[in-house]
Homo-oligomer: A and B are copies of this chain.
Amino acid sequence: MNIGAAAKSSGVPAKTIRYYESIGLIPPAHRTESGYRDFSKIEIDTLRFIQRARSLGFPVKDVAKLLDLWHDRSRASSDVKALATGHVEAIDRKISELHSMRDTLLHLVTQCHGDDRPDCPIIDGIAGGEQMTAADIAS
């Protein structure tokens, strides 16, 4: 299976597959006589695994760890769980950071009449900052 078909079947773009090979996330693919990459079913499964892990937000380095854990049949499930739990916590931190940004911003937005006049509580809020809250402190 060439890289285009592998991309379609795994959901990982061809360019990204080459990139993953270049950084060593996946081993170098076999080549046909003419130099085209040739992917086996197992390699497609690996790409799909990577695609799913990435879509869950795991950084590429963690995906590498997950691939190792996947192939290590003697590893404890607690190892995987620790990695996943850490990631959930990272997501939670990100979410609450975004929430505080959103709250502050929405507060300013609702105070702005948004018409032709130049007076604007949003700009004033960013410039003055007196009523800035979580997002301000969090930075």
Residues of A within 8 A of B (CB): 11, 45, 48-49, 51-57, 66, 69-70, 73-78, 80-82, 84-85, 87-88, 91-92, 94-95, 98-99, 101-102, 104-106, 108-109, 112-120, 122-123, 126-127, 129, 132, 135-136, 138-139
Q: Which residues of chain B come closer than 8 Å to A117, judged between CB atoms?
A: 76-77
Inter-chain contact A53/B95, CB cutoff 8 Å? no
- Nearest-Cβ distance from residue A15 to partner chain B, whole angstroms: 16
Contact of A73 among B51, B70, B91, B118 (CB under 8 A): B118
Q: A98-B94, A136-B55 are in contact. Are A126 and B66 (CB under 8 A)?
A: yes
Contact residues in B for A73 (Cβ distance below 8 Å): 118
